[in-house]
Amino acid sequence: MPEFPDLLQRDLFVLEQNLRTLLSPHLSQKDHLNLLNLACGRADETATLAKILSEHSQTAHIQGLDIRAAEIDQANSHWKKSLPSQTSATFRTHRGDRLRDLQQLDTPDITFLRHQNYWNDRPVWTQIFDQALEKLNEDGLLVITSYFDKEHQLALEALKNLGAIQIGNLANPDTRALTDAPGKSVDKHLAVFKKG
Ligand SMILES: C[S@@+](CC[C@H](N)C(=O)[O-])C[C@H]1O[C@@H](n2cnc3c(N)ncnc32)[C@H](O)[C@@H]1O
């Protein structure tokens, strides 16, 4: 593992490696790719996602969405000026369980849910997963990451119950344990699904 100036940079390096292992083999080359970063918070991983997208397309657009306005403001002010010219990003305060109401959504080729929060509110997250699958391009991919073992298992089951087909799973060998909750760890598990 290389040395990093801070833990965030380390986590993003690990995420990039894991996405290249898990997602890249399933991504076909396109002129343009749309990625929806759902429940994105501050969207720290935006440059990482842009890098992966640039390996599979000439241009890309990242749309981020979260219910927390303060985090969305931070994402907008940071990423509007920090991405390579072939990738644009916009962030919006909106409920993921109201994705159906969002007219301005470009059909995602990839929907990304980092540190999904299914077990915190199963009815809401079932809606988020369901509407994410509904909006996804027919050949699109849905990627989740999870902080906890149990939460990951519950999310996998929920997505399968909604008809999604799991095509990959990865237990992150370089996950970083967090101390605010037992068993919590950054991007501890990742999984990729396609539409059923
Ligand atoms: C565990 S955090 C993960 C945030 C970010 N993806 C990350 O990895 O740092 C879960 C996120 O889900 C968002 N969230 C919760 N309910 C939501 C909803 N109904 N629609 C959209 N976002 C929601 C929260 O605001 C929070 O940012």
- Determine if ligand 1 sits within 6 Å of the CB of residue 39: yes
- Determine if ligand 1 sits within 6 Å of the CB of residue 167: no
Residue 8's pLDDT is what? 96
Å from CA of 31 to ligand 1 middle: 30
Q: Which domains does the chain have, with CATH numbers?
A: 7-22+31-194 (3.40.50.150)
pLDDT digits (tens, 9 = 90+) for 145-165: 999 999 999 999 999 999 999
Å from CA of 18 to ligand 1 middle: 21
Residue 80's pLDDT is what? 84
pLDDT digits (tens, 9 = 90+) for 71-126: 999 999 999 888 999 999 999 999 999 999 998 899 999 999 999 999 999 999 99
- Determine if ligand 1 sits within 6 Å of the CB of residue 188: no
pLDDT digits (tens, 9 = 90+) for 65-81: 999 999 999 999 999 88
Å from CA of 66 to ligand 1 middle: 6
Average pLDDT of span 13-35: 97
Residue 133's pLDDT is what? 98
Q: How many other β-carbons are positioned within 10 Å of the β-carbon of residue 99?
A: 20
Residue 81's pLDDT is what? 83
Average pLDDT of span 35-54: 97
Average pLDDT, the chain: 96
Which residue has 């690990």 as its token pair? 14
Q: Return the HEC string of 12-66.
A: HHHHHHHHHHHCHHHCCCEEEEEEEEECCCCCCCHHHHHHHHHCCEEEEEEEEEE
Residue 21's pLDDT is what? 96
Q: Does 1 have pLDDT greater than 90?
A: no
pLDDT band at 142 (very low <50, low <70, confident <90, very high): very high
Residue type, 53: L
- Determine if ligand 1 sits within 6 Å of the CB of residue 96: yes
Residue 77's pLDDT is what? 94
Enumerate residues 6+ apart whose C-beta is below 8 A from 9: none
Q: Does 58 have pLDDT greater than 90?
A: yes
